[in-house]
Structure 1
Amino acid sequence: MQFNVTPQAKRNAISFCAIAVGLIALLVFMHLVRDDIPVGISVVLGAAAGILLLLGIGKLIEPPVSLVITPDTIRYIHRKGEWQLDWDNVVRFDVPRVHRMMDLEDAPFLGFRVYNNDAVLQSISPRLASAILFEQRQLMTMALRHERPDQADYSEYFDIPEQFVSSEGRVYKGLIAVFGRRMEQMRELLGYDLYVSANALDRDIYEFRGHLQRLQASRQEAKQAPSD
């Protein structure tokens, strides 16, 4: 059985575009009716319309499905590529937390810890690796700020390695090496290797975690059931 995840963020795309067109139409109408419209109002309305239009178009070009989950694999789909993770390679998954003073704060991501990072590194393209490194830079900064507050120099976390040696001894170079090193760093800081943004999910992140746990449990039950 296959379960496809349609991201919530994509559902707002048409609304953003419609509001942008409405603001542009309002601005044109105002200038047709009056010649003394303050420049500030025109600039604000024009800027708001432009931002909303860009956001809407950005959401429209995103893939209609962000995750494809089967009894064997979890496949993450991004406009720059995809990675795939076998269920048997999943150690655990959860919402990662960072320390904030005496409390713990949930990060808006679902984290996956894996047994073997080679399986991921061999399935991801340099193009997608680059996109994820950029998109999750804020998560890395958050993790460093809260998990390493006494560290004065963070340069080691952002240095570009010449190569990366996986847990099985395979050597990677270029963007895949950078991504492999980042997986290690994020495991060290937050306990997980791979992260999927809450924006890529089709429901509240905690509801999705529960749904994924049920899928995992039903998979285990199916594997343990005696065959006829």
Structure 2
Amino acid sequence: MQPVQIQSSASRGGAKLLLCSAGAMLLLSIIGIGLEQLSWWFLLLIVASVLGVFAGWAKLAEPKYFLQLDDEGVRFYHRLGSWQLPWQSFLYSGVPQLNQVNMAFIAFKLTDYDVLLQHIPRRLAVKLMTEQRPLYIEAVRLGCATGQCATELLSEKDYFDTATQRYHGIAAAFAWRMQRLAEATGFEVFVPVSLGDAETQQLCRQINQYRLQLIRNTVT
């Protein structure tokens, strides 16, 4: 299949913001040279232009595409690295819910933890756990409401076992996080999106259709 790439909204407008902010900062600097005294509003404009330069630079550092679908599977891109889920490693993609409210993520129901745990960059795993901490806390809170959180959290060890591997350190922490999220939402892996509800649902349907198509082609 021809690779399908989904553009990231985080990277949009980075070049324009950077150039406009840099131009404004240069213009303000030239004007400021001729002023005997700088007013507070002029200083605020300079600060705003500097912040705009940093914001534009940060946008440019984000990958242009956050998701790619190809023959190998689904690949997620982050500024700190990427991970890939082969089509056979998950059952389906969907929009997760907490308290019957759709979240701003698409998520994946895994059948194989090892393909992700063995290859995800550890630096990326730490960053994702940090970025998705509010999601995890809410999942734990729901577990506490049912009286399960204390027992479940105490059962977590400094290692995590799958059917074939034992993981330690960051990989183990990431695996426990996936398991807790699955218990609360039915999904292990989450990708943040800034799409509308209809677009997000359509993306999940597209992923599921590609998965079925490619698995059938592989079998035949």
What TM bracket, shorter-length normalisation? 0.7 to 0.9
After the TM superposition, which residues 193-208 of structure 1 pair with which residues of structure 2 at under 5 Å, given as runs? 193-199=188-194, 204=196, 206-208=198-200
Q: 1:181 aligns with which of 160, 165, 176?
A: 176
Deviations 1:99-143 (A, max 9, x none): 2xxxx3322111111112112111212121112112212322344
- Whole-Å Cα distance in 1 between the matches of residues 156 and 56 of structure 2? 34
**Counterpart in the other structure of 1:97:** 97
**Counterpart in the other structure of 1:138:** 134
- Determine if contact 2:106/2:200 at 8 Å carries over to the other structure: no
- Determine if contact 1:98/1:147 at 8 Å carries over to the other structure: no
Q: 1:220 aligns with which of 187, 209, 212?
A: 212
- Distance change in 2, residues 1:224/1:48 (3 Å): same
- State the secondary structure of the residue aligned to 2:208: helix
How many Å apart are 1:74 and its aligned residue? Answer: 0.6
**Counterpart in the other structure of 2:47:** 47
Q: Does 1:88 align with 2:88?
A: yes
**Counterpart in the other structure of 2:20:** 19
- Whole-Å Cα distance in 2 between the matches of residues 198 and 148 of structure 1? 28
* Partner amino acid, structure 2, of 1:175: I
- Distance change in 2, residues 1:52/1:148 (3 Å): farther
- Whole-Å Cα distance in 2 between the matches of residues 170 and 24 of structure 1? 54
- Determine if contact 1:110/1:205 at 8 Å carries over to the other structure: no
How many Å apart are 1:44 and its aligned residue? Answer: 2.6
- Whole-Å Cα distance in 2 between the matches of residues 158 and 12 of structure 1? 46
How many Å apart are 1:224 and its aligned residue? Answer: 5.0
- Distance change in 2, residues 1:43/1:127 (3 Å): same
- Distance change in 2, residues 1:67/1:158 (3 Å): farther
Q: How many residues were matched structurally?
A: 218
- Whole-Å Cα distance in 2 between the matches of residues 44 and 158 of structure 1? 50
Q: Sequence identity of aligned pairs in percent?
A: 24
How many Å apart are 1:18 and its aligned residue? Answer: 2.7
* Partner amino acid, structure 2, of 1:216: N
How many Å apart are 1:144 and its aligned residue? Answer: 4.0
How many Å apart are 1:82 and its aligned residue? Answer: 1.6
**Counterpart in the other structure of 2:201:** 209
- Determine if contact 2:142/2:184 at 8 Å carries over to the other structure: no
Deviations 1:61-114 (A, max 9, x none): 223332221244111122222211122222222222222xxxx33221111111
Q: TM-score, normalised by structure 1?
A: 0.78
**Counterpart in the other structure of 1:109:** 105
**Counterpart in the other structure of 1:65:** 65
Q: CA RMSD in A?
A: 3.3
- State the secondary structure of the residue aligned to 1:66: strand
Deviations 1:11-53 (A, max 9, x none): 12113213322441353244245333323x2443233223322
- State the secondary structure of the residue aligned to 2:174: helix
- Distance change in 2, residues 1:135/1:160 (3 Å): farther
- State the secondary structure of the residue aligned to 2:187: coil
Q: Does 1:191 align with 2:186?
A: yes
How many Å apart are 1:194 and its aligned residue? Answer: 0.6
Q: TM-score, normalised by structure 2?
A: 0.81
- Distance change in 2, residues 1:221/1:69 (3 Å): closer
**Counterpart in the other structure of 2:79:** 79
How many Å apart are 1:145 and its aligned residue? Answer: 4.9
